[in-house]
Amino acid sequence: MRLVLVGPPGAGKGTQAEFIAAHLVVPKISTGDIFRANVAQGTPLGIEAKRFMDAGQLVPDEVTINMVRERLAEPDAADGFLLDGFPRTTPQAVALDKLLADLGDGLDLVLELVVDDDEVIRRLSGRRTCHGCGKIWHVEFDPPLHDGVCDRCGGALFQRDDDKPETIAERLRVYARDTAPLVDYYGAQGKLVGIDATGPVEDVTVRAIDALRSYGG
């Protein structure tokens, strides 16, 4: 199957992408991984992307799409893939459709992880990161034995700027403006399936796999 996974920050896309891709025995492909690989290997696209990243600018769609095109043309993606983090906007989705048509393929399904803003803020604002080893704890879901102290290494815990409520609220506004329209775009194609992303990780995975089975996955 050829899938796209969408959902707001804090919906659990990265975790679910790993489980779903393993279930389908297809590669999980994220733009973050593609960027890092191209930059590390010093490819022409990687050099071009790094130029924008070093300047604190967004990598242009054309560069991103060309990286995705090269990745999807690799042998391990011939029988399917799961895209996580791409497309992020409707123009990127249109470009992806054209890219896949050029490759003689098309998307089978788009899974939307559905979770409300209050739950996203609860999940992300409760995260605490260890200064010492980098382990992430959660004040509610995975608290350390001693408040503010990492069980693993004894390091002090802190709240990253990305996990502060005001930053999360801005990330959600950007998602609503730029990425949420993908729901309408793929819904109009009849390819969108919503998955309730609340509750334990395992329950969400079961719902996603059940939905895939309904569509032959």
Which residues are identified as catalytic? 13, 88, 127, 160, 171
**In terms of C-beta density within 10 A (0-12 exposed, 13-18 middle, 19 or more buried), how is residue 182 classed?**
buried
Which ranges of 145-200 does DSSP label H, i.e. alpha helix? 165-174, 181-188
Q: Which helix (H) or strand (E) holds 91?
A: helix 90-102
Distance CA 81, CA 132 (A): 36
Task: Calculate the dihedral angle through the C-alpha atoms of 75, 81, 86, 90, rounding to the nearest 10 degrees.
Answer: 110
Distance CA 209, CA 109 (A): 12
Q: Facing residues of 156 across strands?
A: 149
Distance CA 170, CA 147 (A): 28
